[in-house]
Structure 1
Amino acid sequence: MATLLLLIIYLAFISLGLPDSLLGVAWPVMQSDFDAPLETAGLLFMTIAGGTIISSLLSGRVLKRFGTAKVTVVSTLITACALLGFYFAPSLIWLFLCAIPLGLGAGAIDAGLNDYVAIHYKAHHMSWLHSFWGVGATFGPVVMAQFISGGNAWGNGYLAIAGLQFTLVLILLLSLPLWKRVTAKSNQNTNEVAADSKASDMELEGNQLKPLQIKGVKWSLAAFLFYCGVEATVGLWGSSYLVNIKDISVPVAAQWVSFYFAGITVGRFITGFITFKVSNRTLIRTGQIIALSGAVCLLLPLPALFSLIGLILVGLGLAPIFPCMLHETPIRFGKKHSQTIMGYQMAIAYTGSTFLPPLLGFVASNTTIGIFAFYILLFVAAMLVSSERLNLILVKKGIAAK
């Protein structure tokens, strides 16, 4: 019963990933159709991510009142309707209006399902959960590329994804009784969670402080900011960079970006097994180094094929970072404030998704999209520095890696 529900949750996270990669892949064609400047994609992305920030900040109250299951069903329905709106969009204004509910629905799904899996399932399930986001993010560009290369409008790609979302709404609706049974059974076992002694020491310190005053929290927030900034920027602008700088056709560029998301997907699936043997801290550091090497591949003046290699390396490197950082939260900062700090981390992560990709669009529109590779390298490096500064604080406090 719990396994069946977990599979349904995985399907829901696929639906979360499906729309995330569509705009960046379709934008080279959409830009021409709407006769819009390059940076408009960044503004659209900012609108979507802004809705996501709002819904994630409000998700605590909404989830407590209505429960994860109902919120997931309604949020998926909202995203499906928003995607359908993209299909019918007659103008840019319509796109911006539809971007708002698209972001609102995504934020509620993300916060609710992350919290549910963290409470009711084991650590490796968190990595696998986020790998299924990658399945959706990988499949989205493939679908869009098929419609674009087949001569059909990009809107048909949005229509296809909307159809998949509506199908998932029906599956989630039918699964509502299952959520109640699994949650009731899981709640009977909540007392089995034992606190690590060092984490308890951190919690005792945290009792005397506000969450943001706990040492290391701000470095953790910085790492989340730069992580999501990098992940979203590659997804939004990678295709434009390949088309305009590497002279790659739009359909091929869309397929190459899908390989980036595939790297995240496969990497997170593999990470789920590696977590049994390797600590989260080691996985985070290794992933950041791999992502840094991929950014170097993108930056160097090498043949176009190396851009594909660079995208894949960045995707593989990013794969373990986000789920491992989420799982480390109660270990780093104690159980008392972990829920609050988790909310801060999600909010700052979405802030990175909201502002860092449009920042590149603004700068690129006044210079060249060729700065894309340098931009990615800079923020991967900043993420690595933030993470290592946090590790130094944890080592001084004697907080063991998990």
Structure 2
Amino acid sequence: MATLLLVIIYLAFISLGLPDSLLGVAWPVMQSDIGAPLETAGFLFMTIAGGTIISSLASGKVLRRFGTSKVTFVSVLMTAGALLGFHFAPSIIWLFVCAIPLGLGAGAIDAGLNDYVATHYKAHHMSWLHCFWGVGATLGPIIMAQFISGQNSWRNGYFAISGIQLALAIILFFTLPLWSKVKNNSNITLNGGTEESKSLSYDEEVNEIKPLQIKGVKLALTSFLFYCGVEATVGLWGSSYLVNVKELHAAHAAQWVSFYYAGITIGRFITGFITFKISNLTLIRMGQIIALLGAVLLFLPLPSIFSLVGFVMTGLGLAPIFPCMLHETPTRFGKKHSQTIMGYQMALAYTGSTFLPPLLGFIATHSTIGIFPLCIVVFVAVMLLSSEKLNNLLKKKDLTTRKDTSQQHFNH
């Protein structure tokens, strides 16, 4: 029973990933069809991301009141309706209107399912959960590419994805009783007295600390800002770059961007196995270097096929960075402060994905989309430098602590 529900949750996370990559791959066709400037995609993306942030912040109260199962069902239904709205949208204004429920639905699914899996399932299930987001994000461009190449119709692509979301919503509706059954059979204590007392003592503790004053926190926040900035920017503008600069057909460009998301998905799947052998810090550094090499391949004036290799390398490089940075937080800053700092990191991650892609779009509109690979190189380089500076700072801090401990033992 618990396994069946886990499969349904994985399906719901595929539905979370499906719409995330659609706008970027469809935009080269949408732009000419609607007659909007290039930068409009950035503002649409910002609207979706803004809705995601709002629903994520409000998710705690909503989930406590209605429960994860109902919130997930309504959210998937909401995204299905929003995507259907994209299909019928007669003007750019209606695209912005539909972007709001699309973002609100996505944020509620993300927060609700992460919390549910963390509470009711073992830790390794969380790793695979985020893999299934990548499955959805990879399938989205592939499906859209089929409609762009066959009928040159981005609207039908959105209609097809909307149909998939609706089918998932129907499955969620008929399996609503399963959630409560699994919860009742779970051996994990939920919201018991001990947990409540923990959270109360935690709140008292948080009021006494100022996490931003801890050495290295601001460098960590910078890494998160630019990580999500890179991931979202490549997804949103990669297709436009391939169409306008490399002169690829929009359908081929969409397929190439799907390989980028496939790189992230496969990379995270593999990372789940190799974390037992290689440390988080090494995986973060390796990922950043691979992503930087991929970005450099995009930047160099090489034949188009090297752009495909660059997209795949960038995706593979990005794969381990985000989960490993999150997992490293308690080690870097101590368990006492990790929950507060984790919240700051997620806020900066959303900020990066909300503002950096539209910023590139604004600059590209007043210059050229050819600046895309240069921006990616700069974003990855800043992430790498801030991460390495943080590592060096923590090494010095660790050495100082060891020296102080040795001196105390010597004095005794």
Paired AA for residue 136 in structure 1: G
CA contact under 8 A between 1:299 and 1:373: conserved in structure 2? yes
Measure, in 1, the Cα distance between the counterparts of 2:384 and 2:97. 36
- Aligned counterparts of 2:66 and 2:397: Cα–Cα separation in 1: 39
SS of residue matched to 2:246: coil
The secondary structure found in structure 2 opposite 1:150 is helix
TM-score by length of 1: 0.90
- What's the CA shift for 1:335? 4.1
Alignment partner, residue 374 of structure 2 = 374
CA positional deviation for 1:207:
8.1
Helix, strand or coil: the match of 1:38? coil
Give how far 1:128 is off. Answer: 1.9
Which digits, 9 at most, give the CA deviation of each residue in 1:316-368, with x for residues without a partner?
01111122223333443444544443333222211111110010011111111
CA contact (8 A) 1:232 1:353 kept: yes
* In structure 1, distance between residues paired with 2:66 and 2:335: 24
In 2, Cα distance between equivalents of 1:345 and 1:10: 25
Find the counterpart in structure 2 of residue 210 from structure 1.
Answer: 210
Match of 2:164 in 1: 164
**Structure 1 vs Structure 2 CA RMSD:** 2.4
Most deviating of 278-287 and 364-373: 278-287
Post-superposition offset of 1:297: 0.6
Any conservation in 2 of the 1:127–1:324 contact (CA below 8 Å)? Answer: no
Do 1:360 and 1:375's aligned partners in 2 also have CA atoms closer than 8 Å?
yes
Summarize the Cα distance change of 1:211–1:176 in structure 2 as closer, same or farther, 3 Å threshold. Answer: farther
* Superposed CA offset, 1:111-156 (max 9, x none): 2223333444444433322211111111001111111111252111
Distance in 1, matches of 2:33 and 2:84, equals 18
SS at match of 1:188: coil
Contact 1:127/1:271 (8 A) holds in 2: no
Contact persistence 1:127–1:272 (CA under 8 A): yes
Residue identity over aligned pairs, in percent, reads 76
The answer to whether structure 1 residue 73 and structure 2 residue 73 are counterparts is: yes
Cα distance in 2 for partners of 1:355, 1:24 equals 15
Higher mean C-alpha deviation, range 143-152 or range 301-310: 143-152
Take 1:80 and 1:273, find their aligned partners in 2: how far apart are those partners?
34
Unaligned runs of 5+ residues in structure 1 are 192-204
- After superposition, where does 1:257-268 map in structure 2 within 5 Å? 257-268=257-268
- The amino acid that maps onto 1:187 is I
Alignment partner, residue 188 of structure 2:
187
Aligned partner of 2:69: which letter?
A
1:17 aligns with 17
Partner residue in 1 for 2:115: 115
Partner of 1:197: none
* Distance in 1 between residues matched to 2:348 and 2:60, nearest whole Å: 16
Q: 1:351 to 1:90 in 2, by over 3 A?
A: same
Query: Number of matched residues?
Result: 388
Q: Tell me: CA distance 1:396–1:10, structure 2 relative to 1, closer, same or farther (3 Å).
A: farther
Q: Secondary structure at the match of 1:187?
A: coil
Deviates more, 1:373-382 or 1:175-184: 175-184
Q: Which stretch of structure 1 is more off in the superposition, 103-112 or 236-245?
A: 103-112
Asked whether the 8 Å contact 1:206–1:214 carries over to 2, the reply is: no
Counterpart residue number, 1:105: 105
| AA at the equivalent of 2:129 | L
C-alpha spacing 1:392/1:206, structure 2 compared with 1 (3 Å):
farther
Tell me which residue corresponds to 2:410.
none
Higher relative contact order (CA 8 A, sep 6+): 1
Shift of 1:298: 0.5
Counterpart CA distance in 2 for 1:281 and 1:225 is 18
Q: Which residue identity does 1:218 align to in structure 2?
A: K
Q: Higher mean Cα deviation, 310-319 or 64-73?
A: 64-73
- Residue 345 of structure 2 is matched in structure 1 by 345
Q: Which whole-Å CA distance do the structure 2 matches of 1:82 and 1:323 have between them?
A: 29
Equivalence for 1:392:
392
**Structure 1 segments of 4 or more deviating over 6 A?**
none
Give the alignment's TM-score, normalised by structure 2: 0.88
Moved more, 371-380 or 221-230: 221-230
Find the aligned partners of 1:313 and 1:13 in 2 and give their Cα distance.
24
Displacement after TM superposition at 1:290 (Å)? 0.8
Contact 1:291 1:317 (C-alpha < 8 Å) held by counterparts: yes
Instruction: For 2:102, give the aligned amino acid.
Output: L
In structure 1, the residue matched to 2:51 is 51
Aligned pairs for 1:356-375 (under 5 A) are 356-375=356-375
Q: Distance in 1 between matches of 2:369 and 2:295?
A: 15
Amino acid paired to 2:154: W
* 1:88 corresponding residue in structure 2: 88
* Distance in 2, Cα, partners of 1:26 & 1:263: 20
Aligned equivalents of 2:294 and 2:138: distance in 1?
Answer: 18
Label 1:153 to 1:12 Cα distance change in 2 as closer, same or farther (>3 A): same
State the match for 1:4 in structure 2.
4
Measured at CA, do residues 173 and 340 of structure 1 come closer, stay the same or move farther in structure 2, by a change above 3 Å?
farther
In 2, the alpha carbon distance for the partners of 1:60 and 1:271 equals 30
Q: 1:152 to 1:241 in 2, by over 3 A?
A: closer
State the distance in 2 between where 1:381 and 1:206 align.
33
Larger radius of gyration: 2
Question: Cα gap change, 1:177/1:323 in structure 2, threshold over 3 Å: closer, same or farther?
Answer: farther
